[in-house]
């Protein structure tokens, strides 16, 4: 092989490898966007997560959502899932400092606005302070309810199955209060509709 051909081939391989790494870094692995890939990822995260504190039992798909009581931005306590009984819930765990969380928020807001009175209720669960969340929502407002919790080994996301504390983390809860799905990582454009079954 000629030296010029070798250089072109090496440059093409390097560019292809960098392109693959970039697509995995910014777009997530294609496997991560499948339900079987999510189950494998969730199992791997669970296996490497610390043991939850005594009395904390992270929920799994097929189990009832544990009752959670959290304040909204006005300080009112909202009991989940009771506050939205009879309606499916999409609970998205995020923080104001989480880049992938911020990137997916317009998509979550679009999905929330497309729901009718019996559709999926989107709820943002911010593991952050009220001041940080209010300042963030001044810049990037959303039309769905935001609840607050302090991050830690027994925060609401751990109860919802997020033992490793990965953000963003999303849970789909059926109208009967059963956890249907759990997702690690951000949604790509249009993915929420398929994931939530609509």
Residue 57 has a pLDDT of 84
- Which letter, b or e, does each residue of 48-86 get, where b requires 16 or more Cβ atoms within 10 Å of its Cβ? ebeeeeeeeebbebeeebbebebeeeeeeebebbebbee
Residue 14 has a pLDDT of 40
Residue 165 has a pLDDT of 86
For 107, counting Cβ atoms within 10 Å of its Cβ (0-12 exposed, 13-18 middle, 19+ buried), the class is: middle
Residue 29 has a pLDDT of 58
Residue 6 has a pLDDT of 57
Residue 20 has a pLDDT of 36
Residue 36 has a pLDDT of 57
Residue 42 has a pLDDT of 59
d(CA 18, CA 37): 23
DSSP β-ladder status, 169-173 and 89-94: antiparallel
Residue 164 has a pLDDT of 82
Blockwise average pLDDT, block size 10, the chain, 198 residues? 59 40 46 60 60 81 96 96 95 96 96 95 97 96 97 92 90 96 91 87
Residue 15 has a pLDDT of 40
């Amino acid at each position: 092989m000629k030296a010029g051909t070798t250089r072109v081939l090496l440059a093409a391989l390097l560019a292809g490898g960098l392109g693959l790494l970039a697509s995995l870094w910014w777009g997530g692995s294609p496997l991560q966007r499948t339900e079987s890939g999510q189950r494998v990822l969730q199992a791997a995260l669970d296996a490497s997560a610390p043991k939850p504190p005594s009395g904390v039992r992270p929920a799994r798909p097929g189990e009832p959502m544990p009752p959670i009581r959290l304040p909204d931005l006005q300080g009112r306590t909202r009991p989940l899932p009771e506050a939205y009984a009879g309606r499916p819930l999409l609970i998205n765990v995020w923080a104001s400092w989480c880049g992938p969380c911020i990137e997916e928020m317009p998509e979550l807001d679009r999905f929330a606005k497309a729901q009718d009175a019996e559709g999926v209720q989107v709820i943002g669960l911010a593991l952050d302070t009220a001041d940080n969340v209010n300042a963030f929502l001044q810049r990037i407002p959303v039309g769905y309810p935001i609840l607050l919790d302090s991050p830690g080994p027994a925060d609401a996301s751990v109860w919802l199955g997020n033992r490793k504390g990965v953000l963003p983390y999303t849970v789909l809860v059926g109208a009967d209060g059963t956890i249907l799905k759990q997702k690690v990582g951000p949604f790509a454009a249009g993915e929420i509709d398929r994931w939530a079954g609509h």
